[in-house]
């Protein structure tokens, strides 16, 4: 099978070609990404209108480049996949409408992919991990712990009740005057800081329910920063290191609670998987790798370029769904909120807004 994947849910324009062999192994033939960091840097965050217009300007050329690099024609494609949400609706519509047009012209099946499912299935592209597995999904807008039982089969074990982890990193960066994008800057500063200098809280530590809460920790950083003002370079590095250390402690503790819940409901998972942009953070990766080793389970985290938004994960999710006959008609609409576990109660960070749990 051969699939074109298109990703435009936020500020990354991406197109990729994936081939899946008879043995079920995926091969990335092309994975092209156009970043919009420079377009949004002056605003300290993503501006939806600017993001959508930027997608329109580059997507056609990016798809053409990916097809040329992969050496394939539209006639050879098995399906055309596009992220249909969750995300910024104006951005989502650019990629989805383009995919619909190409599917009509080339007479190919259309697969509307949940962006979160694409993250969830990426370890099957990179490591062929079998179902079921425990997933920590961490990005700028989502923080969830899920039991991945199969394509389209997800059980939410825990989620954030306020800020997502990536969101908390970005907000801390902004309050400390660090440049956009904030998350990588906090990690960079933390490398030179003292993680023990500031005594910051570890919200929900020890709770049986594997949920997250980051707003209190973020507030504690703000209070500590105000008490130290004006901040020196050392103060900023130490605050970043202390904040990151607190986040890591919370993540490991919450994953421990989720693993216990997973084993009670489904048995031992085949792996602990980390996906999403925050999965690129080396401190988080190393801590979870040590935890997995102590728990006796396999640890999988995709390469950094497949943790952040990309077209390869969309193409692979499209292949997985297409292989099971999960195709969509041309009237499918984009979804700004799209939870992986539709049965779970609404909660922040779960793919849709709702009452805080």
Residue 57: which CATH number? 3.30.420.40
For the cut 50, the answer to whether the pLDDT of residue 355 exceeds it is no
**Does residue 262 sit within a domain?**
yes
Proportion of the chain above pLDDT 70, given as a percent: 97
What is the rounded average pLDDT of the residues 153-158? 97
For the cut 60, the answer to whether the pLDDT of residue 242 exceeds it is yes
Record the tokens describing residue 240, joined without a space: 């970043």
What is the rounded average pLDDT of the residues 223-250? 97
For the cut 60, the answer to whether the pLDDT of residue 354 exceeds it is no
Q: What pTM was computed for the model?
A: 0.94
What is the rounded average pLDDT of the residues 188-193? 97
Examine the domain organization and report whether 27 and 102 are in the same domain. Answer: yes
Q: What is the pLDDT of residue 333?
A: 96
Confidence category of residue 349, pLDDT binned at 50, 70, 90:
low
Strand 2-7 versus strand 79-83 pairing type: parallel
For the cut 50, the answer to whether the pLDDT of residue 244 exceeds it is yes
Confidence category of residue 352, pLDDT binned at 50, 70, 90:
low
What is the rounded average pLDDT of the residues 153-175? 94
What is the tens place of the pLDDT at every residue in 28-46?
Answer: 999 999 999 999 998 888 9
Examine the domain organization and report whether 100 and 232 are in the same domain. Answer: no
Closest CA to 88 of 141, 23, 130: 141
Examine the domain organization and report whether 139 and 151 are in the same domain. Answer: yes
**Domain containing residue 28:** 2-120+305-323
What is the rounded average pLDDT of the residues 343-350? 77
For the cut 50, the answer to whether the pLDDT of residue 86 exceeds it is yes
For the cut 90, the answer to whether the pLDDT of residue 140 exceeds it is no
Examine the domain organization and report whether 248 and 146 are in the same domain. Answer: yes
Reduced to 3 states, what is the DSSP secondary structure of residue 319? helix
Q: What is the pLDDT of residue 356?
A: 30
For the cut 90, the answer to whether the pLDDT of residue 281 exceeds it is yes
What is the tens place of the pLDDT at every residue in 282-335?
Answer: 999 999 999 999 999 999 999 999 999 999 999 999 999 999 999 999 999 999
User: Count of domains in the chain?
Assistant: 2
Examine the domain organization and report whether 178 and 273 are in the same domain. Answer: yes
C-alpha 37/C-alpha 316 separation (Å) is 25
C-alpha 61/C-alpha 69 separation (Å) is 12
The region of weakest confidence among 62-66, 136-140, 253-257, 306-310 is: 136-140
Confidence category of residue 351, pLDDT binned at 50, 70, 90:
low
Phi, psi of 166 (to 5 degrees): -60, -40
What is the rounded average pLDDT of the residues 148-175? 95
C-alpha 85/C-alpha 93 separation (Å) is 9
Examine the domain organization and report whether 69 and 186 are in the same domain. Answer: no
- Geometric angle at alpha carbon 331, from 330 and 332, rounded to 5°: 95
Examine the domain organization and report whether 297 and 266 are in the same domain. Answer: yes
End-to-end distance of the chain based on CA atoms, in angstroms? 42
More confident residue, 180 or 327: 327
- Average pLDDT, whole number, for the chain? 94
């Amino acid at each position: 099978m051969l699939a074109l994947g298109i990703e435009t849910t936020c500020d990354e324009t991406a197109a990729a070609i994936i081939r899946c062999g008879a043995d079920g192994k995926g091969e990335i033939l092309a994975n092209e990404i156009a970043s919009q960091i420079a377009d949004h840097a002056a605003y300290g965050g993503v501006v939806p209108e600017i993001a959508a217009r930027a997608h329109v300007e580059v997507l056609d050329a990016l798809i053409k480049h990916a097809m040329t690099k992969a050496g394939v024609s539209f006639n050879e494609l098995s399906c055309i996949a596009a992220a249909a949400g969750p995300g910024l609706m104006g951005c989502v519509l650019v990629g989805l409408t383009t995919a619909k047009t190409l599917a009509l012209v080339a007479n190919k099946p259309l697969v509307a992919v949940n962006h979160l499912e694409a993250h969830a299935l990426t370890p099957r592209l990179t490591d062929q991990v079998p179902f079921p597995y425990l997933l920590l999904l961490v990005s700028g807008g989502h923080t969830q712990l899920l039991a991945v039982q199969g394509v389209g089969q997800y059980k939410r074990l825990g989620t954030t009740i306020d800020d997502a982890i990536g969101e908390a990193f970005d907000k801390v960066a902004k309050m400390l005057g660090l440049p956009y994008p904030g998350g990588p800057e906090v990690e960079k500063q933390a490398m030179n800081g003292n993680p023990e200098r500031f005594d910051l809280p570890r919200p929900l530590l020890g709770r049986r329910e594997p949920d997250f809460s980051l707003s209190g920790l973020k507030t504690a950083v703000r209070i500590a920063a105000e008490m130290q003002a004006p901040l020196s370079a050392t103060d900023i590095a130490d605050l970043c290191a202390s904040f990151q250390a607190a986040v890591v402690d919370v993540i490991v503790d919450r994953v421990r609670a989720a693993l216990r819940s997973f084993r009670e409901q489904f048995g031992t998972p085949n792996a602990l998987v980390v996906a999403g942009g925050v999965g690129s953070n080396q401190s988080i990766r190393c801590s979870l790798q040590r935890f997995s080793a102590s728990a006796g389970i396999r640890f999988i985290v995709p390469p950094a370029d497949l943790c952040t938004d990309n077209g390869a994960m969309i193409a692979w999710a499209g292949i997985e769904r297409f292989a099971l006959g999960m195709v969509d008609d041309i009237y499918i609409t984009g979804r700004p909120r799209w939870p992986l576990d539709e049965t779970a109660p609404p909660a922040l960070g779960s793919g849709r807004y709702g009452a805080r749990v």
